[in-house]
Copies of this chain bind each other. A is one copy, B any other.
Amino acid sequence: MKKVRVFAPASIANLGCGFDVMGLALDEVGDVLEIIASEGDGLTITNTTQVPLPDDIEQNVITPVVRKFLSLIDKKAQIDVTICRKIYPGSGIGSSAASSAAAAYGMNELFGCPLSDEQVVECAMEGENLASGGYHADNAAPAVLGGIVLIRGYHPLDIIQLPVPGNFYCAVVHPHIVVNTKDARNILPPNVSLHKAVSQWGNVGGLVAGLYSGNIGLVGRSMNDVVAEPYRKQFIPGFDDLRNKLLAAKALAMNISGSGPSVFALTDRHDVAQRAGWIMKEHFDKLGISSEVYVVKVSNKGAKLCGVNI
């Protein structure tokens, strides 16, 4: 019998312009799993948190991740997973990716790290596919690897870890409203005008350049999503008003986290990040919407062990 306790972070997909190709890990927020491997052939998942999750393990994102891992290493085992900490699903900060990444990373550690980072992400993407019906890595890759990640392409999976500026803070608010991921995707038109697409990839180039060169101003002015945000912001009460308040408070940018309803603001100043968090909380309080706010420093930690027992 072998046991690991593993943490994987929440994450912000899209980062404004980087729709479906970029993501950032929120290392101080995330899921914790305990995974026990023993001889046999089976899987149990026990949820010890207050967060409601499906009873049927076929509906839990951990299940396809564990199966993919075992099929890749061509082994059988009895796997018993305990969910010890869980981000609330539907928050838009990568709840399913955090569980999936923790399961994939934990399994790899339990079995002596036979898989590469890319393969661990590929396992985690099985959970994303169950959750949203698509093999996306823009939450799964930062949840495994930490920091800021670019998914250059999927065939084959090509993950680029981008530099994280020395002082880089993120304030995130999860307002307690429901935005269904599939609705948020279905509201997007299947086509985008070439003109808008050109703006978007100019901004993606600018964002990557800003991160490499440490040009925080360039990072901020590149975080402009002309493709998804104009459609999705209607799901978030007072979106434009909140953004105006955050920009006035010197945040670099405010965008929707993934498909929402969480929104986030980036800054290179800790005091601005704190203030952005208060503004976010107050904004939704005034609208009668309860919320959680996280203010974190962006770092490169990613998934990690938090205790091993054999």
- In the complex where A191-B191, A194-B192, A197-B227 touch, is A206 in contact with B160 (Cβ < 8 A)? yes
A238 touches B (CB below 8 Å)? no
Point out the residues of chain B lying under 8 angstroms from A191, CB to CB. Answer: 191-194
Q: Which parts of A191-210 form the interface with B (CB within 8 Å)? A: 191-194, 197-209
The number of chain A residues touching the other chain, given as a range, is 35 or more
A19 touches B (CB below 8 Å)? yes
Interchain CB contact under 8 A, B202 and A200: no
A76 touches B (CB below 8 Å)? no
Interchain CB contact under 8 A, A152 and B203: yes
Give the copy number. 2
Complex Cα–Cα for A250 and B233 (A): 46
Complex Cα–Cα for A64 and B206 (A): 30
Point out the residues of chain B lying under 8 angstroms from A212, CB to CB. Answer: 208-209, 212-213
A158 touches B (CB below 8 Å)? yes
Which of B188, B194, B205 is in CB contact (< 8 Å) with A21?
Answer: B205
Interchain CB contact under 8 A, B218 and A160: yes
Which of B19, B205, B221, B227 is in CB contact (< 8 Å) with A204?
Answer: B205
Point out the residues of chain B lying under 8 angstroms from A152, CB to CB. Answer: 202-203, 205-206, 209, 218, 221-222
Interchain CB contact under 8 A, B150 and A209: yes
Add 12 more A-B contacts to A191-B194, A204-B208, A205-B207 (CB < 8 A): A18-B201, A21-B202, A152-B206, A152-B218, A153-B203, A158-B206, A188-B194, A191-B191, A191-B193, A197-B227, A205-B205, A209-B212
A residues contacting B by CB (< 8 A) are 17-22, 150-153, 158, 160, 162, 188-194, 197-209, 212-213, 218, 221-222, 227
- What are 16 contact pairs spanning A and B, CB under 8 A? A20-B198, A150-B206, A151-B202, A152-B202, A152-B218, A153-B202, A153-B206, A158-B221, A191-B191, A192-B192, A197-B197, A197-B227, A201-B204, A204-B205, A205-B207, A208-B212
